[in-house]
Structure 1
Amino acid sequence: MTGNEINRAALNPTSSAVVEACAGSGKTWLLVSRIVRLLLAGAAPSEILAITFTRKAAQEMAARLRDWLRLLALAPDEEVRHFLRERAVPEHEIESLLPRARSLFELFLSAQPGITINTFHGWFLQLLSRAPLESGVGGDWGLLDQTSALLEEAWQLFAEELQSEPGSEAAQALDFLFTEHGLHNTRSLLLDFVAKRAEWWAYTQGAEDEATFAAEALRRDLAVEPERDVLAELFADSGLILDLQSILGLLEINTDTDKGFAVGLARVLSLFPPDHVGCQKLRALHHVEQHTAQCASLIGALRGLNLEDIFSAIFAVFFTLKGDPRKRKASKDQAKRLTAEGEARLLELHGRLCERLAAVRDALAALAAYRFNRAGLRCGAGLLAAYQRLKEERRAVDFTDVEWRVHQLLNRSDHAEYMQYKLDCRYRHILLDEFQDTNPLQWQIMRSWLDASTGAGSAPTVFLVGDPKQAIYRFRRADARLFGIAADFLEQGYGAARLHQNVSRRSAPPVLEAVNRLFAQEGEFTGFELHQAHHADIPGRVEVLPLAQDDTDDSAEAQPSVLVLRDPLTEPVEEEEDQRVEREARQLAEKIGGMVGRWQIATENGGSRPTEFRDILLLKRSRTRLEIYERALRAARIPYVSSRQGGLLDTLECADLTALLTFLITPFADLCLAQALRSPLFGCGDDDLMALAREPDGSWWARLHAVAGREQSSPALLRALSLLQGWLALTDTLPVHDLLDRIYFEGDLLPRYDAAVPEAMRGAVQANLHAFMEQALNMDSGRYPSLPKFINELHQLRRAPAQEAPDEGIVGDVGNAVRILTIHGSKGLESPIVWLLDAHASPRNERGYRAVLDWPPESPRPQHFFLYAGKRERAAQWQPVFDAEAQLERREDLNLLYVAMTRARQALIVSGSESARKFEESWHGKLLRAVQVDSSTHEPQTDKVHVGCQKLRALHHIEQHPAQCASLIDVLPLARVASAIPTGKRTSQRQTEAQRHGIRLHALLEWIAPPAPVLDRAWLQDRLEVDDAEFDALWQDALHLTQAPHLQRFFDPAHYLNAWKEVPYRTAAGESRRLDRLVEFEDSVWILDFKVAERAEEGNLAASSAPYLGVMREYRVAMEGVFAPKVVRAVLVFGNGLVFEVD
């Protein structure tokens, strides 16, 4: 279907429709357009219900509808006609609908009740508020936004109850969990159980004792008999012992490895009573000690024996550490040792014993799983009951309670038909946005209403839109499979048209080409259809950079390294993985520096403009090690905004305010006062604080009185004393918000923080300060506004999980700054340039100590609900559940990659760092395969892989394709030199002091040398992490080199055409190299390689240079191919300024 045909079917106000729309296709535009068409068709605003999944999305939807209706009311007729044509209004109806279109804005504003545009939870709260009192689910209930503090209180209450009844089943169960699994794991298990309480309620619905019901269902599924002693039965079987004795005799005369197994097995068998069948044969073991090494683990397991140890020792003879049967097969040599009959007997016994032991292993795992679940389910139900009691006592509900109450109200209560009738009378048109994020309870609520409407002959129209490819919220209980279930239901019961919109209005063709190549070949990514670009002429590019490796320093490799011991108290262990991430982070900063101002961004009017920092969006799977990338951006002076979930109270500005408020209620809190004085609010310097510290006695508040009262006192201290005295007097009389308002105004707080932070950070800091003020209003709805309570709540929020702690403020205009987000946080956003970081990272490993459930989307309740500790208690009967869960997780991992790629409008860059993960399985490997270009069609490959204009495949010919693709190509300071790539591997030895000095001097030269020199001494010293004396020595050494008369031409921009620092390239053999400095003059190009850790002498200059001549000649040959016909010269620069030119 064409786009117009899809719009006609989707926007038809008289019929239902299901639209599966790809990323960037305009789902919100389609949904709001449908609302406009409904209003044009005569629907009353009160009859329309639009549901989405976030408050922000609902607000944006309402704002767009309001703007469109205003346009219809005020725009010229021709513009209104064009608007209606875009929304598939039949041409013959446009003129007659103009008066109606003009009146919609007034109708929208004056309608009582109006259009309902809300989230599922917001709408559910409305339903509960209108439920009959007799139902027991309505009434005056407060909504809990944060539950962690109440859960902690419930844990304490649960523990106290069990202490008072130590003999109860729950107390014994908790004691079992503590003993076998520890406190931390037990808490994690039970809190996860409570988090899945809606599924638990659905699973145990109607049961009198939920824990007993679930445990009994699990016992039947696992086919276990709790009182059965599996091991005693096993070892009571004389046939098993005879088989073991038989195979023992064969192992004793087989390979050396088998002889070792035989020793261990013989010792096990010798432990059985003498009257056990055949045991007397084991007494005459004459070579037990000959193969002790091979079976030490077996023998060790038999000390302090019990049946479990004996079984483990026997099991190890027949199974590998991974639990797989040891492989045995026939061979000529084995037949010679055992005879053909003996070999056949060995293979037959091995297979039979493996089968028997595996069955026992599975039975033991099932029994352990049952005992763990029996205890865990009992304790989980008890903790949940305590949590629910606390909420009832406080007349409070959380979001899960809201969902469950509405589910019961519309499905199983005596008032279900009444509520369904009320819904039918109110709403005639239902619009559901982002339906792939729906959970089973939400769908069942909608399904019960729709079934009832169909049965009563009053079915509404339903418009459902979503994209299963963007389903990334399984951790919030969403199930993307419901999209297909709901689509089938609406198609069969409501005659809904099923539509697929695969035209993206966001991404450029090269980005979509990469998307198509990658996901079309992914077997797990079922249902994918090729995407098309609405704007086919927008230029774009995809780059897959090589994985970052460990750094290496040429000078360190050329010299013998000295092993230096690490002081564990002052020097942390350097993790190789973090070093690789740091390398990727430096690569990021370097490339962004080359992109801004040089890449061209297409504009809406068909023109282009230079790239700004604000055009770049950095995406990462999670926030793990995000600070490494942020540190690299700060070092490169690149402005960025990084909003952290739950990170408001961790920001410096909010920590300053918290310290100030803490001082106001505890004036003896010296550290809090010192932090407040040093903050931009008061601006006291180090000298001011030292003056207070030198005072002999009293608290710092008393010292501030004493110091500020002197004639020579600092104005900053005088101002601080005056303000603090005024605020202290108001602490007990004003609500927190009013006190903060006074502090903000009288302290001139916002302008002072503006002046104290870099321009790129001002928006974020201002937003955080406003968010802190808002927090004072939000906390307990302002009902308990005392300052001590507010401070206590802040401390609790700091300890709360990230998803419950207050987020950093939303920056309205981030300014010209790079944005850093997680992929989940970027949902619904877009950017001209998207950089996917850490693309070689592995998804999280399988987590233990959690509740596992299997809820088929078409089922009214979960099929399985059990607790999982780890592989030791993993019953074989659960394997299909875990396989299905793993498949869903793999699909969601691909969905996450799809979401990341489709945020990009013009350019997608992908990077990562090396790890132990298989290359092909990572996002980086998948993307590289998707965009790989046949290297035989052009010159030797560069360090990255591109997809884009066919003319531009060979980047060595950039200058041949100028204007039409300039926005794709103007990338690098030197177009023919590749961007940053990994070079070498870091050595594990510790450097000498001289080497460390040389490495720091090398870094200082890189920073202070043009282009883009950094001359802020304080920043440089902080970056180098050295004291004043060492920095002064480094600074003088650097100036000695850059200002030396014979070297000045290489550092003074007045003397050269172009200069580049740390220029990487790849050799024809695929090896990575990096040039310290590359300088281009009118007639020549010079390569400078710094050996600043060495101080050569005039007499031995050639000898000192000899180790580096080979690589320097290689550098020169490589650059001659780039800068021909200019002469390329190469020189070594030593730490004392001596220069040696390579011939």
Structure 2
Amino acid sequence: MQNQPHQQDQPSAINPRVNAAVAASAGTGKTYLLISRLVRLLLNDAAPASILAVTFTRKAAAEMRERLLLRLQQLATVDENELEKLLHDMDCIVTPALKAQARHLYERVLLSTYAIRITTFHAFCQELLRRFPLEADVPPGYELRENNGLIIEQAWDALALLTTREPRSELAQALHTLFITLGNLDKTQNALQDGFLKHRADWWAYVEHQTEPLEYAYQQLQKIYDYPENPLAVYLNSELDKELRVVVQGLLKNPTATNNKLLDLLATSFTTEHLEYKINLLWSVFFTGEGRPKKLFYAAKILKDLGGQAPQYHAALEFCVARLERAADAHQQQRNHRIQKAWLLAGTALLEQYQRIKQEQRLLDFADLEWRTYQLLNHGDNLTWVHYKLDQQINHLLIDEFQDTNATQWHLLKPLLEEMATQHNNLDDTTRARSVFIVGDTKQSIYSFRRANPALQNTATEWLIKHLNGQRFPLNKSWRSAPLIIECVNAIFKNTLWATHLSDFAHHETHKEFWGRIELLPILRQLETDKSEKNAIPEILRDPLRESLEADDFYYFEGQTIAERIKELIKSGLSFDGSRTLQYKDIMLLIRSRAHLSSYEQALEDAHIPFVSEQRGTLLESLEIQDMVALLNHLIAPYNNLALAQLIKSPLFGGDDNDLQILALRTESTWQARLNAAALEPNSHHVFKYAAQKLTEWHDLSGLLPVHDLLDRIYAEGDVIQRYRRATPQALQQRISSNLNKFIELALSMDAGRYPSLTHFLAELKRLRESDEKLDAPPTDNSRDGVQLMTVHSAKGLEAPLVILADSARSYLNGSNKDSYRVLVDWPTDAAQPNLLLLNLPSALQCNATLHYLDAHREQQTQEEANIFYVAITRAQHMLIVSGSESHNSNFGESWYAAFEQAFENRWSNEETLRYIQQGEVIYLTPQVTHKPSSINKQEEPAAIFIPNIETHISPSKNNADDNESTHDSAAHAAQRERGIALHALLQVMTEPYAPNKNLHTLNCSQEWKNEIETLVRTPALNFIFDPTHYEKAFKEVPITYFSEDGKQVNGVIDRLVMTTDTAWIIDYKTQENIDIAHLAQNAKRYAPQLRHYAKGVQQLWPTKTVRTLIVWTALAVSSEV
């Protein structure tokens, strides 16, 4: 954040004597305010141990702790003028005594026996449970389990076993009902695992004081349904049949083909005794697919032909329609009720198994932490004692990100607040200074899937005002974003359809110094494909091994457009503050969901743009981790030939297919034996020697060291991380390092650090891979220069000079029930427990009795989508780019992109400053710029921008090939190319170490070319590069990749690399036929740049050797050193 708010913006909220509830919009200095409040508490002589600050993530807690110490360090080290300014900004009355006190705060906090507690909600709960284990009834020495996927699977297996043993039990019938009505096993598991289990804390609160929880839940369900005991028998009776016959007489008056079909269906309905079949039959007769009455029954011809009987027909028709609607809804209510009861029964049974397994293993999860703490503070047997002990230690409570609080957390906090309120209202107790400070922003609540309820912030604010004489402090002045960005935020959330979804939005202000820019990139239009063409069977089947499936990946195409714009901006030298130009790490690319993350990653990677991306559930699927697992498998099972083959080709040992062929041709029993034998032979390939040596050493250690220590040794001795980084493109190097480090951390954390055996560790990895509990790849280091590619949820709390909103041309406000099989919880914020828990069923299974709850849920989801949009925009400091791909059914009018267009049209339609995308031209929108850095003065508002290709890598061989191609006609060049490929292949075979007689006459190619190569390799002057007795090692077709001093990636292939004791010879074959021997030196100079690139790379690999470069002219059997 560029600047920090001054005292006049929030003087009272900083005051430690004020109980404050702060509603802080994005970028308004919330963290600055919270740190200032902490410093003011310390300046007010609050003991560090009496302060408790709670937030929601470890990262946020660590940042808060770091910034507090940094502020205290500033107070201790700045000069007198700066010290007075800092104190003045915190609304202090500056005196010599206060300045002296401020100077010593840093030392006081660091040397305090009991530090300020800056922690997360879950860490606070864990602290209380460990402090009061008997009172909380938690298992002694319990372990906290953060990932519970395996336990859920075990609980499901236990549930399945129960129903298998008792197939006629109520539980088995309930599961059968869910299978049949929901459609399959996956949906049933979603309803129970992702639905009931995830909301187990809501269930515990729902039935907290009930002796018969299920019966109570059934009774609550019964209250919302209103249908007779046998609804179809009640409504589909003779009375309905009588009116149906009147309708039949009307249809007979107009005997069209359609009406005749309807008459046949009606005739069938009179004879069937199956009521469910009858209701479905009659519904298809009278109603459209959308559930509306068909208009054909009201045709003018029918009414005219009926004459005086028309009123009777019309009344009968209205009766039938109304009766069928009531029958269908009553039937649907009965069905819905049956599903809900089955879900509750199966859900409680699954929860029972889940809790049993955890209890047997002495495990607690996060939901247990919150619920046990809630019970400890609200209903424990030693409630007074616990409150007394806590009350003596917590005088000042600060809660950050309050909009992310869930109901359980709010109700466990209330006892602490009530104790403070008791003292506050006790006029005789003035001995202790106590305070409460909460801060949050309901507009940034985007974690409903974690049960977050933003309405609790308003409830908590009202509670503070009522019981603690608290005050409300709104903050709407941004210190993060440029005026243009904030003006756009105001326009979108006040003047577009998004205003209706963010009802509590208040006008934002900002400082006036920042330069800003917004760009709308051209929308990629997706055309609707003809289904018959799309599903057509091709005449010739595709070979999947040779021909990839062509797909119109519009997200990849959009990513290409974004990548080109990024490259243009980087090349332009754009600067936001004048201190440095734009770098990749200044750019944040945001997407709404991870569904198409890989497409954007591929586009950036293909454009050679370094990026940092977040991956979910991909750790064990990454290639480098699969190599590490293969290594560990091979250490405990040396006969695992496949694992060894994988290791030989991995960057760990750097082998290739030729090395595998050598081992495959050997006759020893196992590949490990073949490797050991090959390593002992004279002139053995270095890959075999190195692999045999290391695998033997690590195998001996595998039975002696714990897994973590073994991996630590392997990483160090094998230089594992650097080997993988060198074999990986720069854009992916940081991810490789993070994954390898995460793997070794996993070895330490598994089994709570109880030193699992190698076999147990591998078995656990196998279970993790096969289960639904996927291990996330770790976040990479954001300090490296790479575009940050992440979801909006992950970006919350972050900021960037340039933010790109991708996939912005489709609506996220669709009315579909996309949260099917989740739980609808009716829990008013002022209630101690929920009123009702319902499974959110698909639209086809909904009924009128549950629509009220579904509508409320959809309204909450719509508001959260608006919150996500708000969070996405407000990450930008200076520049915002909006991009999108519009499909034929994307509902563009409700998209983010359309909101920007509407905001621009409403605000700037009559001003010359309106500049945005027109006919594919990238044009700047830069209204009312008050400050522009010097570095962009020459680029002010161009009419259009040409985006050139930017050279980001060097291919020496390709560059020379291009030069050659330009000097030959196409036919001659093709012939020369064929000759070059053939001669290189012949040289490959001739220099193979396992070619026994090096006889080329059996190969199918030109005899002239064979003779040329035989002459070449037998030339005495070239023995030092072809005769193994003249060198230590030789490599052929050596790929080389490195980054030059100017950051460009160099890629190439060295034809042959020969190593002697002190020299590395780089050999480059030239296969031209008509070479004048008198001009060899002149011709060789053409290739000097290519060989210099190779030499620089080889020198990095072998810094102690002299690197020399040599061109071998195959047609002349001579060489030229360059």
- TM-score, length-scaled by structure 2: 0.79
Kindly tell me the number of residue pairs found equivalent between the two proteins: 939
Contact 2:823 2:840 in 1 (8 A): yes
> Within 5 A, what are the aligned runs for 1:447-846?
447-456=414-423, 457=426, 460-521=434-495, 522-534=499-511, 536-550=512-526, 565=540, 567=542, 578-598=552-572, 600-603=574-577, 607=578, 609-696=580-667, 698-801=669-772, 805-843=774-812, 846=818
> Within 5 A, what are the aligned runs for 1:969-1008?
970=939, 975-977=942-944
Does residue 245 of structure 1 match 2:245? yes
Q: Deviation string for 1:367-404 (max 9, x for gaps)?
A: 11111122221111111111111111111111101111
Contact 1:834 1:907 in 2 (8 A): yes
Match for residue 173 of structure 1?
174
Contact 2:163 2:169 in 1 (8 A): yes
Match for residue 121 of structure 1?
122
Q: 1:913 to 1:360 in 2, by over 3 A?
A: same
In structure 1, what is the Cα distance between the partners aligned to 2:296 and 2:454? Answer: 45
In structure 2, what is the Cα distance between the partners aligned to 1:642 and 1:971? Answer: 32
Q: Deviation string for 1:624-667 (max 9, x for gaps)?
A: 12111111112111111212133322322222212211211222
Q: 1:877 to 1:1034 in 2, by over 3 A?
A: farther
Amino acid at match of 1:378: L
User: Aligned to 1:871, which of 843, 846, 865?
Assistant: 843
In structure 1, what is the Cα distance between the partners aligned to 2:253 and 2:954? Answer: 75
Amino acid at match of 1:109: L
In structure 2, what is the Cα distance between the partners aligned to 1:584 and 1:826? Answer: 21
Amino acid at match of 1:917: S
Match for residue 202 of structure 2?
199
SS of structure 2 residue aligned to 1:602: coil
In structure 2, what is the Cα distance between the partners aligned to 1:737 and 1:873? Answer: 51
Return 190-199 or 880-889, whichever deviates more: 190-199
Q: Deviation string for 1:593-646 (max 9, x for gaps)?
A: 21112152222xxx2533222221111111112111111112111111212133
Q: 1:877 to 1:971 in 2, by over 3 A?
A: farther
Contact 1:130 1:138 in 2 (8 A): no
Return 135-144 or 311-320, whichever deviates more: 135-144
SS of structure 2 residue aligned to 1:761: helix
Q: Deviation string for 1:753-787 (max 9, x for gaps)?
A: 33322344333322322222212111122204211
Q: 1:189 to 1:312 in 2, by over 3 A?
A: same
Contact 1:539 1:967 in 2 (8 A): no
In structure 1, what is the Cα distance between the partners aligned to 2:196 and 2:55? Answer: 27
Deviation, 1:1016, is 7.5
Contact 2:28 2:480 in 1 (8 A): yes
Deviation, 1:482, is 0.6
Deviation, 1:187, is 1.7
Amino acid at match of 1:531: H
Q: 1:258 to 1:409 in 2, by over 3 A?
A: same
SS of structure 1 residue aligned to 2:87: helix
SS of structure 1 residue aligned to 2:553: helix
Contact 1:595 1:971 in 2 (8 A): no
Match for residue 1050 of structure 2?
none
Contact 1:760 1:816 in 2 (8 A): no
Match for residue 917 of structure 1?
890
Q: Deviation string for 1:716-762 (max 9, x for gaps)?
A: 21011000001001111100111111101111223323332234433
Task: Give 5+ residue unaligned stretches, structure 1.
Answer: 273-304, 553-561, 953-960, 981-1005, 1022-1028, 1040-1143
Contact 2:56 2:121 in 1 (8 A): yes
SS of structure 2 residue aligned to 1:392: helix
Provide the identity percentage. 36
Q: 1:563 to 1:648 in 2, by over 3 A?
A: closer
Amino acid at match of 1:920: G
User: Aligned to 1:400, which of 360, 367, 388?
Assistant: 367
SS of structure 2 residue aligned to 1:624: helix
User: Aligned to 1:312, which of 277, 280, 288?
Assistant: 280
Does residue 424 of structure 1 match 2:400? no
Q: CA RMSD in A?
A: 3.3
In structure 2, what is the Cα distance between the partners aligned to 1:570 and 1:449? Answer: 65
In structure 2, what is the Cα distance between the partners aligned to 1:34 and 1:831? Answer: 26
Deviation, 1:806, is 3.7
Deviation, 1:971, is 8.9
In structure 1, what is the Cα distance between the partners aligned to 2:934 and 2:893? Answer: 32
Match for residue 223 of structure 2?
220
Amino acid at match of 2:88: R
Does residue 847 of structure 1 match 2:819? yes
Amino acid at match of 1:361: A
Contact 2:809 2:884 in 1 (8 A): yes
Match for residue 402 of structure 2?
435
User: Aligned to 1:23, which of 22, 26, 46?
Assistant: 26
Does residue 366 of structure 1 match 2:333? yes
Amino acid at match of 1:746: E
Deviation, 1:63, is 1.0
Return 710-719 or 892-901, whichever deviates more: 710-719
In structure 2, what is the Cα distance between the partners aligned to 1:257 and 1:518? Answer: 53
Deviation, 1:255, is 7.7
In structure 2, what is the Cα distance between the partners aligned to 1:460 and 1:872? Answer: 55
Contact 1:261 1:317 in 2 (8 A): no
In structure 2, what is the Cα distance between the partners aligned to 1:1033 and 1:509? Answer: 60
Match for residue 279 of structure 1?
none
Match for residue 1139 of structure 1?
none
SS of structure 1 residue aligned to 2:21: strand
Deviation, 1:359, is 0.9
SS of structure 2 residue aligned to 1:727: helix
In structure 1, what is the Cα distance between the partners aligned to 2:91 and 2:135? Answer: 47
Amino acid at match of 2:826: D
Q: 1:123 to 1:779 in 2, by over 3 A?
A: same
Deviation, 1:509, is 1.2
SS of structure 1 residue aligned to 2:804: strand
Q: Deviation string for 1:983-1035 (max 9, x for gaps)?
A: xxxxxxxxxxxxxxxxxxxxxxx98xx866874789999xxxxxxx99x9799
Deviation, 1:197, is 0.5
SS of structure 2 residue aligned to 1:597: helix
In structure 1, what is the Cα distance between the partners aligned to 2:64 and 2:778? Answer: 22
SS of structure 1 residue aligned to 2:375: helix
SS of structure 1 residue aligned to 2:524: coil
Amino acid at match of 1:306: H
In structure 1, what is the Cα distance between the partners aligned to 2:260 and 2:381? Answer: 72
In structure 2, what is the Cα distance between the partners aligned to 1:482 and 1:944? Answer: 47
Q: 1:770 to 1:573 in 2, by over 3 A?
A: closer
In structure 2, what is the Cα distance between the partners aligned to 1:849 and 1:464? Answer: 34
Match for residue 1041 of structure 2?
none
Contact 1:158 1:383 in 2 (8 A): yes
SS of structure 1 residue aligned to 2:785: coil
Deviation, 1:433, is 0.2
Return 395-404 or 110-119, whichever deviates more: 110-119
Deviation, 1:698, is 2.6
Match for residue 1108 of structure 2?
none
Match for residue 1063 of structure 1?
none
Match for residue 65 of structure 1?
68
In structure 2, what is the Cα distance between the partners aligned to 1:962 and 1:392? Answer: 63
In structure 2, what is the Cα distance between the partners aligned to 1:888 and 1:1019? Answer: 59
Contact 1:211 1:378 in 2 (8 A): yes
SS of structure 1 residue aligned to 2:580: strand
Return 37-46 or 675-684, whichever deviates more: 675-684
Contact 1:252 1:262 in 2 (8 A): no
Amino acid at match of 1:441: T
- TM-score, length-scaled by structure 1: 0.77
